[in-house]
């Protein structure tokens, strides 16, 4: 009778019991297991002792707290550009004061060593910051200012300096379970007081450049004009030469007609003189003649210039 009652109870309350079992299973799973993601590495600390190698991704069994503690570390690269002294003055080899900021890309490569020596990321970055300041000061102290900024690529050493800082930082950080992937210079500034003198220099250089542009403009314009003038004169001279040749050809062609004047040169000369007179004595001419000149000799009653009777013959 009692068994029957029990059976009936189980049958009647199976749903409730299943729910309870599920809740209990979840509870137990949470207490006795842990998950590690792909981006993480976990350390199992059993009774305050690192009890195994780093654990990779997946679901793993654990004893509940406080028997076992699980420390997870993100093993992806992260960028760190310093905290204290992120931008601080550094002296170059030649005594220039520059304000330099650098960054490092790093990741936790050995969680056991990292955990034992640095505990957590906050503490690790404090330590890393100190290393970065040290290598920055040391490296920049080895190079002149002109090796930081220079238009000649052979003189530029920034990449070399980054490489040097990376090597030093990498060697130091490796002992602490940190892998430094790269180091970069993110800022090179000059002290605030010096910027004013840089501005003054920049202004002076611009004024000089402006004057150079204006002078160059005048010079180039003058050159263009001079070349144009020279070319023009040359073209005109050539044209004049050609014209001279043309005229001489004309004269030569005309000369063959002169042969006819040989038949009576005196008459030809006389006719030319008359022609010249016609051409010369045109408008706006003031003429002063004496009475010996024909035909004004006729004004003198004894004129015989043209061998004609000065007086009409008396009949």
Partner 1 sequence: MDNSKEKRIQEQVGLFELGQKALVRLSKVLFLAMVVMISGMLVYYVTASGLCSVKPQESAIVLRFGKYVTTHTEGWHWYPPSPIYSFIYIKTSQQSLDVSFEALQERQMAGMETANTNLVPGTDLYLLTGDSNIIHTSWRLQYRVTNPRKYFETILGPKDPLKPDQLQIDTNTNVRQGVRGPQTMIKNILGSVILKVTAENKVDSLLYEEKEAYRNEVTRLFAMEIAKLDAGIEIDGLQLSQVLPPLPTRKSFSEVTEANQERGTLIELAEQYRVNLENETQVRAQQIRSFAETYRTKVVAQVESESIYFKNIYEQYKENPETVLTALYNSTLTNVLSAVEEKYIISSSGDKHRQVRLKLNPEPRKTTAEPEEVR
> Which residues, 107 to 136, sit near partner 1 by CB under 8 A?
107, 122, 125
Could you tell me if 123 and 172 are in contact, meaning their C-beta atoms sit under 8 angstroms apart? no
- According to DSSP, the residues that pair with 44 across neighbouring strands are 70
Q: Minimum distance from CB of 60 to partner 1 (Å)?
A: 9
The residue within the footprint of partner 1, chosen from 35, 46, 51, 52 (CB under 8 A), is 35
Which of 253, 311, 313, 315 is close enough to bind partner 1 by CB under 8 A?
253
Asked if 67 touches partner 1 (CB under 8 A), the answer is: no
Please identify which residue in 1, 254, 301, 313 interacts with partner 1, judged by CB under 8 A.
Answer: 254
Residues 6+ apart with CB under 8 A from 131: 169, 172, 173
Q: Using the minimum distance from each CB to partner 1, give the nearer residue, 87 or 174.
A: 87
If one asks whether residue 225 binds partner 1 (CB under 8 A), the answer comes out as yes
Q: Does 21 bind partner 1 (CB under 8 A)?
A: no
Question: Which CB sits closer to partner 1, 47 or 249?
Answer: 249
- The reply on whether position 156 binds partner 1 by CB under 8 A is yes
Cα 277 to Cα 85, 267, 285, 292, 296: the distances in Å are: 109, 15, 12, 18, 16
C-beta of residue 50 within 8 angstroms of C-beta of residue 44:
yes
- Our finding on whether 76 is near partner 1 (CB under 8 A) is yes
Does 91 bind partner 1 (CB under 8 A)? Our answer is no
Query: Which of 6, 213, 304, 310 contacts partner 1 by CB under 8 A?
Result: 213
The answer to whether 283 and 274 are in contact (CB under 8 A) is: no
**8 Å CB contact between 34 and 60:** yes
Q: Between β-strands 40-46 and 68-74, what pairing exists: parallel, antiparallel or unpaired?
A: antiparallel
Residue 263 found at the interface with partner 1 (CB under 8 A): yes
Binding mask 278-297 for partner 1 (x = CB under 8 A): x--xxxxxxxxxxxx-xxx-
Which 3 state secondary structure label does DSSP give 145?
Answer: helix
Q: Is 160 in the site for partner 1 (CB under 8 A)?
A: no
CA distance 203 to 192: 17
Q: Is 40 in the site for partner 1 (CB under 8 A)?
A: yes
- What whole-number distance in Å separates Cα of residue 292 and Cα of residue 307? 13
Contact 101, 84 (CB under 8 A): no
With contacts defined by CB under 8 A, how many residues of the chain interact with partner 1?
131
What is the Cα–Cα distance from 278 to 60, expressed in whole angstroms? Answer: 135
Among 31, 67, 246, 310, binds partner 1 (CB under 8 A): 246
Spatial distance between the Cα atoms of 203 and 205, rounded to a whole number of angstroms? 5
Q: Which is closer to partner 1, CB of 6 or CB of 227?
A: 227
Which of 44, 124, 132, 148 is the binder for partner 1 (CB under 8 A)? 148
Is residue 141 a contact residue for partner 1 (CB under 8 A)? no
When asked if residue 48 is in the footprint of partner 1 (CB under 8 A), the reply is: no
Q: Check if the beta carbon of residue 32 is closer than 8 Å to that of residue 18.
A: no
Return the residue of 277, 301, 304, 311 that touches partner 1, per CB under 8 A.
Answer: 277
Report if residue 314 touches partner 1, rule: CB under 8 A.
no
- Closest approach of Cβ 315 to partner 1, in Å? 23
Spatial distance between the Cα atoms of 103 and 182, rounded to a whole number of angstroms: 8
3-state secondary structure of 246: helix
């Amino acid at each position: 009778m009692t068994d029957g009652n029990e059976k009936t109870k189980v049958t009647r309350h199976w749903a409730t019991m299943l729910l309870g079992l599920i809740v209990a299973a979840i509870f137990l799973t949470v207490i006795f297991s842990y998950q590690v993601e792909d981006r993480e590495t976990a350390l199992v600390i059993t009774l305050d002792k690192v009890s195994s190698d780093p654990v990779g991704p997946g679901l793993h069994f654990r004893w509940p707290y406080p028997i076992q503690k699980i420390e997870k570390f993100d093993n992806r690269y992260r960028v760190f550009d310093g905290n204290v002294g992120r931008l601080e003055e550094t002296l170059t080899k030649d005594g220039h004061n520059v304000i330099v900021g650098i960054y490092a890309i790093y990741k936790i490569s050995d969680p056991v060593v990292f955990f034992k020596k640095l505990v957590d990321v906050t503490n690790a970055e404090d330590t890393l910051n100190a290393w970065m300041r040290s290598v920055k000061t040391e490296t920049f102290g080895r190079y002149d200012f002109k090796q930081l900024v220079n238009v000649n690529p052979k003189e530029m050493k920034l990449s070399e300096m980054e490489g040097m800082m990376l090597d030093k930082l990498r060697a130091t950080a490796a002992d602490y379970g940190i892998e430094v992937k790269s180091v970069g210079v993110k800022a090179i500034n000059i002290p605030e007081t010096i910027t004013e003198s840089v501005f003054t220099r920049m202004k002076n250089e611009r004024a000089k450049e402006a004057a150079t542009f204006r002078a160059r403009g005048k010079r180039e314009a003058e050159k263009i004009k001079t070349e144009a003038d020279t070319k023009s004169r040359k073209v005109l001279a050539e044209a004049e030469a050609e014209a001279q040749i043309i005229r001489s050809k004309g004269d030569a062609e005309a000369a063959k007609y002169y042969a006819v004047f040989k038949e009576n040169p005196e008459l030809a000369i006389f006719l030319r003189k008359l022609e010249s007179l016609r051409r010369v004595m045109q408008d706006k001419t003031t003429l002063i003649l004496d009475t010996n000149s024909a035909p004004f000799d006729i004004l003198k009653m004894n004129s015989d210039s043209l061998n004609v009777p000065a007086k009409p013959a008396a009949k």
